């Protein structure tokens, strides 16, 4: 089996994809037919190690699906005839617990042994790691970014900007759900991610000229939302954007039921979890919440990459629990990582400097396989990047595999385009 090959430490997963014996591009400075060794690349075994910082314990246990999505793609990429045929890829994931203080020493302990990072989850964590990534000439593919990271030369983003999910949700609620005359309010986490969400929300409500009310922030880790729900209800908020992670929507729903508050809720992929349709407040959530998430349903046919990914996951030999967003994030991030690594192999240079050069100037427009909001145009420099902006919308339904039922695929918001243009 080419799947889970080792459990290297508590909270650390090492996953690998293997392949055959194709010829290797030549390094002019090394023996004929061989690539020179480099950080994260073993030239003798032709093994490439990529890093990952994804929380996989506690309330984040389900995020292991991101790792499985990466593994599934790398298995395919390293198979006979794949772009990495002849090589193996090992994904070394360390459990960040979604906490920068935890992630920093984990990162420092692994950074010298990886070619690049194929996933880093969490804007606060990315922000904490970037200074060291720059010192070590390391590039990383984040699991979503906020605008301030869009042109960073050590990050190679995929998917739309995280906060544009929320701008699109405001547009969708106003123009597709019939809330153009309603009062819009927001409840957003107090951190770097929340700052970006609030910025996009403010742009969207101004762009649409809708009525607005309370704009509330909450500390990360908050579990009791009695005060916030009371304030939103008292202000007459009819549409509430919830911006946060983990179980925030369920925690809100519990208090909304208790206080008999029934607004339309708009939220994004970061506030989804696998228990959303069956856990606390599920009935209320099914009636009142719409999610912005890229791509399609688990068994959807709109995205060409979706059935391909599901088939690849089925071949891993591990239990696969249908989940929205996370497998797709791993799959798409691994696809981009593969493009960078394949170009490095072709050029005969696996050095970090060459990986970064490729990421900055040689990717061009990358197809998203219908899963990530549209093609990503990387331009010829970090400053030229244009992220995708198409968003799909889902309601909560326990009868579908992921708990999310597709309502509209690839909604095209003119407001999101305007917002992204305003960043340049």
CB-based contact 188:199 (threshold 8 Å)? no
Contact 228, 218 (CB under 8 A): yes
**pTM of the shown model:** 0.88
Q: Closest by alpha carbon to 286, among 194, 396, 408, 142? A: 396
Domain residue ranges of the chain, discontinuous segments joined by +? 4-160+300-388, 164-293+391-422
* Burial environment of residue 334 by CB neighbours within 10 A (0 to 12, 13 to 18, 19 or more): buried
Work out whether strand 117-120 and strand 47-53 pair parallel, antiparallel, or are unpaired. Answer: parallel
Fold classification of 4-160+300-388 (topology level): Rossmann fold (3.40.50)
Mean pLDDT by 10 residues, the chain (424 residues): 32 40 36 79 97 93 93 97 97 96 97 98 94 97 92 97 95 98 97 93 97 97 95 98 94 98 96 93 98 96 95 91 93 98 98 98 96 96 95 97 97 94 86
Please choose, from the candidates 158, 68, 56, the residue with its C-alpha nearest in 3D space to the C-alpha of residue 103.
56
DSSP helix, strand, coil percent of the chain (3-state; round to 5): 40, 20, 40
Q: Which fold has domain 164-293+391-422?
A: Rossmann fold (3.40.50)
Under a CB-based contact definition with an 8 Å cutoff, are residues 92 and 114 in contact?
yes
- Give residue 60's pLDDT: 87
Q: Which residues of 29-51 are buried (b: 16+ CB within 10 A; e: fewer)?
A: eeeeeebeebbbbebeebebbbb
Q: Give 55-104 pLDDT, tens digit per residue.
A: 999 888 889 999 999 999 999 999 999 999 999 999 999 999 999 999 99
Q: Tell me whether the CATH fold assigned to 4-160+300-388 matches the one assigned to 164-293+391-422.
A: yes
Contacts of 235 (CB under 8 A, 6+ apart): 183, 185, 213, 214
- Name every residue whose Cβ is closer than 8 Å to that of residue 362 and which is 6 or more positions away in sequence: 343
In our burial notation (b when 16+ CB lie closer than 10 A, e otherwise), range 365-381 reads ebebbbbbbbbbebbee
CA torsion angle 137 375 370 404 (round to 10):
70
Query: What are the DSSP calls for 33-58, one per residue?
Result: T-PPPBTTEETTTTEEEEEEE---SG
């Amino acid at each position: 089996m080419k799947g889970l090959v080792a459990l290297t430490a508590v909270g650390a997963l090492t996953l690998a994809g293997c392949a055959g014996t194709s010829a290797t591009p030549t390094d002019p400075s090394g023996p004929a037919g061989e690539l020179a060794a480099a950080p994260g690349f073993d030239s003798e075994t032709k093994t490439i190690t990529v890093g990952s910082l994804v929380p996989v314990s506690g309330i984040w246990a389900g995020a292991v699906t991101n790792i499985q999505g990466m593994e599934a793609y790398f298995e395919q990429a390293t198979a006979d005839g794949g772009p990495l045929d002849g090589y193996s890829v090992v994904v070394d994931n360390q459990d960040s617990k979604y906490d920068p203080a935890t992630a920093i020493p984990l990162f420092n302990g692994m950074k010298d042994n990886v070619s690049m990072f194929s996933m880093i989850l969490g804007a606060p964590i990315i922000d904490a790691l970037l200074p060291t990534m720059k010192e070590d000439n390391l590039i990383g593919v984040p699991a979503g970014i906020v605008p301030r990271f869009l042109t960073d030369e050590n990050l190679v983003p995929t998917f739309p900007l995280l906060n544009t999910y929320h701008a699109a949700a405001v547009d969708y609620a106003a123009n597709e759900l019939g809330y153009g005359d309603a009062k819009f309010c927001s409840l957003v986490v107090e951190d770097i991610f929340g700052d970006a969400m609030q910025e996009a929300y403010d742009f969207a409500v101004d762009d649409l000229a809708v009525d607005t009310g309370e704009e509330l922030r909450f500390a990360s880790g908050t579990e009791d939302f009695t005060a916030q729900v009371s304030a939103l209800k008292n202000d007459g908020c009819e549409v509430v954007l919830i911006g946060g992670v983990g179980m925030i929507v369920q925690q809100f729903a519990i208090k909304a039921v208790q206080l008999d508050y029934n607004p339309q809720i708009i939220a994004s992929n970061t506030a989804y979890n696998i228990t959303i349709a069956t856990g606390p407040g599920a009935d209320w959530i099914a009636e009142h919440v719409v999610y912005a998430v890229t791509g399609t349903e688990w068994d959807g046919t709109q995205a060409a990459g979706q059935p391909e990914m599901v088939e690849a996951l089925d071949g891993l030999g591990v239990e696969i629990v249908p989940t929205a967003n996370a497998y797709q994030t791993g799959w798409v991030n691994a696809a981009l990582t593969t493009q960078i690594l394949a170009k490095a192999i072709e050029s005969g240079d696996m050095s970090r400097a060459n990986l970064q050069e490729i990421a900055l100037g040689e990717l061009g427009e990358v197809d998203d396989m219908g899963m990530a909001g549209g093609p990503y145009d990387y331009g010829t420099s970090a400053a030229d990047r244009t992220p995708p902006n198409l968003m799909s919308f889902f309601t909560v339904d326990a009868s579908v595999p992921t708990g999310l039922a597709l309502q509209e695929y690839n909604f095209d918001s003119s407001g999101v385009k305007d917002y992204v243009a305003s960043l340049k």
